[in-house]
Amino acid sequence: MSAPLPEAPMPNNEFGDFQTPIELARALVSTLPRTAWTRVLEPTCGVGNFLSAIGERHPDAERVGIEVQPEYAAAASAFGRVITASIFDFDLARDIAWTSATGPTLVVGNPPWVTNSQLSVLGSSNRPARANTENARGIDAITGSSNFDIAEFIWIKLLAEFSDRPVTIAMICKTQVARNVLLHCARQQLPVTGSSLRMIDAKKWFDAGVDACWFTVELGPGKTDYTAATYPSIVASQPDNRIGVIDGQLVANVDAYQRSKQFDGISSLMWRQGIKHDASAVMELTENDGPRTKLGASVDVESEFLFPLFKCTDVYRGKLTEVSRWMIVPQSHTGDDTAQLADSAPKLWKYLTDNAGALDGRKSSIYRNRARFCIFGVGPYTFAPYKIAISGFHKVPQFRMIGPYDGRPAVFDDATYLLPFEDPAACAVAHALLTGQEATDLIAALAFWDSKRPVTKKLLQRIDLSAIARATDRRALRDRARAVHQDSSSIDQAIDNFTDPT
């Protein structure tokens, strides 16, 4: 196995070569149903560890492997009949000459860990040609996108080619690939009767920093089912969750979605992202007997441009009682001309022009043809005194209600999402709605916690606060709102505004 690069866990070679250790292959094969397999196929079989593990457990099964690298194919030949070829040149259901009679068929393996764009960078020809796959349903959709995963392509190819017969396909892949494949099966109405994911510790087994799983799909006649039980480990005896496609949507927790789908709609309030500036050394200051740069230099700018800053980790941890950072907010809209600061705020102008190198050097194209010191994620909502904030990066949803500090509204980094409020009672009711069981279930249903940014603006915008307000017991809502806002006089009115936002 080639050593992965520290920054890029995927192997930097055109064969996506991560050989499965024999102990892992044995453990994974032991999770399969104890069917007496007649035929076992391993596309991309490498040195043949899966063929070997299958042979130990199912010595009577006819075992066939395909492998493009001749030295690997030669090694794998000890455990079955191995064809030295590229799977992209085969219809895997039809082009293999089996000697055994038709019977229970298993496809196992660990397809290459590489994306199409990585192959492009390598100038590799080891990738599917669209012409070879014209009969495969849904393949065009995936090959049409420039950065598809080769493993996802192989899954879809196998499912298309075997869709007319009963077969079990069980392969190691990224959990993201498994989810995409499940959605593909539902969209194409493939005859899937059951599936499951077992989480694999990819760091331990492959020294790779990805979320990987052992994904098993049963194809055959019977009632279709596009949900998959998920097991926390390869040895777990019980699943801890079920993901799946419900009403055409992929959800992260089927049970939670069934409980909360009536709240999956459109938020009556607009979620916003925190401020993006790509120049933290200049725009973010620490509080240390007044605002200072990270290097400790005191900064003297007009105070109306300084706002208490909280980062997503502060929001997640609830570290919100004291102001330990400030953000310079030089605009009230992204479109404002910052050159006028020379007259209206000379101290700020001097500070920004003295430190212009970091701002002028911002690489992202969003800053091109914009005001010189512009920022993003700023508008009237930035200056609202009360806010609900949540980190987009953390794995547990924590909504926080945040008021002004000495009259200055709090601002957030761009990994934080927020709802702005003028009225603290409305903010408290929104907090109560977002932290109740209904919203908690809906977020559990929609957020895939292994994503880099599991909570997104799009997800938050789906939480129908009005529907939750109408379904929630009024007294319980009032009590929860009072827990974060003591002045109860306007809470009832705020609840009414949510139940009937028109």
Ligand X SMILES: C[S@@+](CC[C@H](N)C(=O)[O-])C[C@H]1O[C@@H](n2cnc3c(N)ncnc32)[C@H](O)[C@@H]1O
Q: Is 67 in the site for ligand X (CB under 6 A)?
A: yes
φ, ψ dihedrals at 242, nearest 5°: -140, 125
CA distance 421 to 287: 26
Task: Tell me which amino acid residue 186 is.
Answer: A
Q: Is 87 in the site for ligand X (CB under 6 A)?
A: yes
**Shortest distance (Å) from residue 259 CB to ligand X:** 39
Q: Is 86 in the site for ligand X (CB under 6 A)?
A: yes
Give the residue from 49, 88, 85, 81 showing the smallest Cα distance to 65: 81
Site string for ligand X, 10-49 (x = CB under 6 A): -----xxxxxx-----------------------xxx--x
Through-space distance between the first and last CA atoms of the chain, rounded to whole angstroms: 62
Residue 219, token pair as written in the block:
């194809």
Selected from 68, 245, 269, 418, the binder of ligand X by CB under 6 A is: 68
**Shortest distance (Å) from residue 24 CB to ligand X:** 9
**Shortest distance (Å) from residue 131 CB to ligand X:** 16
Q: Is 72 in the site for ligand X (CB under 6 A)?
A: yes
Selected from 12, 31, 38, 69, the binder of ligand X by CB under 6 A is: 69
SS3 state of residue 402 = strand
**Shortest distance (Å) from residue 341 CB to ligand X:** 56
Site string for ligand X, 322-341 (x = CB under 6 A): --------------------
CA distance 184 to 187: 5
Contacts of 286 (CB under 8 A, 6+ apart): 292, 293, 294, 324, 325, 326
Q: Which residue is nearest to ligand X (CB)?
A: 46
- Closer residue to ligand X in complex, CB, 87/279: 87
- Closer residue to ligand X in complex, CB, 67/413: 67
Torsion of CA 486, 487, 492, 498, to 10 degrees: -70
Q: Is the dihedral of CA 136, 138, 141, 143 positive or negative?
A: negative
For residue 88, list its beta bridge partners: none
- Closer residue to ligand X in complex, CB, 73/312: 73
- Closer residue to ligand X in complex, CB, 66/410: 66
Site string for ligand X, 292-321 (x = CB under 6 A): ------------------------------
- With contacts defined by CB under 6 A, how many residues of the chain interact with ligand X? 24
* Range in contact with ligand X (rule: CB under 6 A) among 61-69, 250-258, 293-301, 304-312: 61-69
Site string for ligand X, 111-140 (x = CB under 6 A): -xx------------x--------------
Task: Tell me which amino acid residue 26 is.
Answer: R
Q: How many CB atoms lie within 10 A of CB 404?
A: 16
**Shortest distance (Å) from residue 423 CB to ligand X:** 56
- Closer residue to ligand X in complex, CB, 126/293: 126
Contacts of 113 (CB under 8 A, 6+ apart): 10, 11, 16, 17, 18, 151, 174, 206, 208, 210
Report DSSP letters for 318-356, one per residue.
T--SS--EEEE---SSTTS-GGGHHHH-HHHHHHHHHTH
- Closer residue to ligand X in complex, CB, 128/420: 128
- Closer residue to ligand X in complex, CB, 110/338: 110
φ, ψ dihedrals at 252, nearest 5°: -85, -15
CA distance 229 to 241: 6
Q: Do 416 and 389 form a contact (C-beta atoms < 8 A)? A: yes
Selected from 37, 88, 349, 351, the binder of ligand X by CB under 6 A is: 88
Q: Is 109 in the site for ligand X (CB under 6 A)?
A: yes
**Shortest distance (Å) from residue 253 CB to ligand X:** 30
- Closer residue to ligand X in complex, CB, 23/300: 23
List residues binding ligand X (CB under 6 A). 15-20, 44-46, 49-50, 66-69, 72, 86-88, 109-110, 112-113, 126
